[in-house]
Amino acid sequence: MSQDPEERAAGKHRQKRREVVTRTHERTRWKREDFAHQHSRRLVNEFDVIALEDLRVTNLIQNSHLAKSIHDAAWSQFAALIAWKAAWADRRYIAVNPAHTSQDCSGCGNRNVDLTLAERVYRCVRCGLVIDRDLNASRNMLAVRRHCLGLVS
């Protein structure tokens, strides 16, 4: 049962293509890790207190539309690096519960439960605040952080 020369050549060609693809994935992984290390270090150097949403990435990747993007961004790795580097640099790291951070109004505290992920602008029906959804969530996380630190009663 010897292979003919064409089958052997095809097998060698396939093996070389696999090695090229493997190397490409390896380089991509290195770039992702380098990005995460550099930017986590920049954040830790710049801020004394860092608050991040304590996202359950394993739950988020259940959404087939978001899974690839979440994996590509390496959210878990980035958050872990920030937590580790913050502890090493004697900085405060606070993991904020992500529940309702983008649904609560950062101006008056009113909750908009009808907000979908597709809506990128937050509009409060009570106080009239119109703000980017992510900026609203970050302001709510800032309020939680200030409360954790005892800066607000």
HEC secondary structure over 58-99: HHHCCCCCCHHHHHHHCHHHHHHHHHHHHHHCCCEEEEECCC
Write the burial class of residue 104 (CB in 10 Å: 0-12 exposed, 13-18 middle, 19+ buried). buried
Q: Are strands 121-123 and 130-132 parallel, antiparallel or unpaired?
A: antiparallel
- Pairwise pLDDT comparison (98 vs 85), residue with the higher score: 85
Contact present, 152 and 146 (Cβ < 8 Å): yes
Highest averaged pLDDT of the listed ranges 43-47, 77-81, 114-118, 146-150: 43-47
Which pTM was predicted?
0.68
Residues 79-91 have pLDDT tens digits of 999 999 999 999 9
- Pairwise pLDDT comparison (103 vs 3), residue with the higher score: 103
- Pairwise pLDDT comparison (148 vs 102), residue with the higher score: 102
> What b/e sequence results for 68-79 when a residue is b if at least 16 CB atoms lie within 10 Å of its CB, and e otherwise?
eebeeebbbbbb
Residues 15-52 have pLDDT tens digits of 999 999 999 999 998 998 999 999 999 999 999 988 88
> What pLDDT score was predicted for residue 152?
64
